[in-house]
Structure formats: C-alpha cells, structure tokens
C-alpha cells in the first residue's frame, strides 16, 4: 500500500525567504505526482502536476522536482510572500488510478 510522507509538518519563515517542502512515497510505480494548496476550511487547488517521465515542473515562483526511483519530490517556492501561507499537500496517482495523499505541510510566512 502506497504511503506518502511530508516533512516538515509545519514551517514558519520570514517574508522573502525561499521555501523547501519535501514529499516521499514508498512505491515508485506511480503515474504522476501532484502538489496541491489548501487554505483553511477550503478545498484543494492543484498547483503542479509532474508526469512520471518528467523530472520537474515550473509555474511562476513554484518549482517541483521528482526523483521517482528514490521516491522523493520537492516543492520549492521562491521569495515567499504572506499570501503563500497555506497547507501544501503532496499526492501520487498509483497504478490503480487512485490518489494517495500526504498529511501536508502547513506554511506560515511572516510579514
């Protein structure tokens, strides 16, 4: 059974600092990996999707890397802003097409 772990569980940084969020998964036979953002009391918004054949994806200040063989992904957020404060969730699509989620990293960016 796929297990997805996110470290750290929480992170607090001053505005302008770069953020590094880590995700690891136990079964490397995945179709893709996704990073989501969740604001308090809200649903999930997709940020980046990396296909299993890709090594990274970029969108604006966000960059996500994927090392499928070692079961790791990292989300980088450059020059953080208070509006980046949220919970970030990592999820993988397995061979059975179901999503397995990590528990998330809660980020606070201090002004």
Partner 1 sequence: DVKVTQSSRYLVKRTGEKVFLECVQDMDHENMFWYRQDPGLGLRLIYFSYDVKMKEKGDIPEGYSVSREKKERFSLILESASTNQTSMYLCASNSPRTGYTDTQYFGPGTRLTVL
Q: Which is nearer to partner 1, 80 or 88 (CB)?
A: 88
Structural tokens at position 107 = 């980020």
Strands 10-14 and 105-110: parallel
Q: What is the C-alpha separation between 24 and 72, in angstroms, rounded? A: 4
Query: CB 99 → partner 1: shortest distance, Å?
Result: 6
Q: Which is nearer to partner 1, 53 or 69 (CB)?
A: 53
Q: What is the C-alpha separation between 91 and 49, in angstroms, rounded? A: 9
59 binds partner 1 (CB under 8 A): no
Q: Which residues bind partner 1 (CB under 8 A)?
A: 4, 9, 31-32, 34, 36, 41-46, 49, 51, 89, 91, 93, 97-99, 101-104
């Amino acid at each position: 059974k796929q297990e997805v772990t996110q470290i750290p569980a929480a992170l607090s940084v001053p505005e302008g600092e770069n953020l590094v969020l880590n995700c690891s998964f136990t079964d490397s036979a995945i179709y893709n990996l996704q990073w989501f953002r969740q604001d308090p009391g809200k649903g999930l918004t997709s940020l980046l999707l990396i296909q299993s054949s890709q090594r990274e994806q970029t969108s604006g200040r966000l960059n996500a890397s994927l090392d499928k063989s070692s079961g790791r992904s990292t989300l980088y957020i450059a020059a953080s802003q208070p509006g980046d404060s949220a919970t970030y969730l990592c999820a993988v699509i397995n061979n059975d097409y179901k999503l397995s989620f990590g528990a998330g990293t809660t980020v606070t960016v201090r002004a």
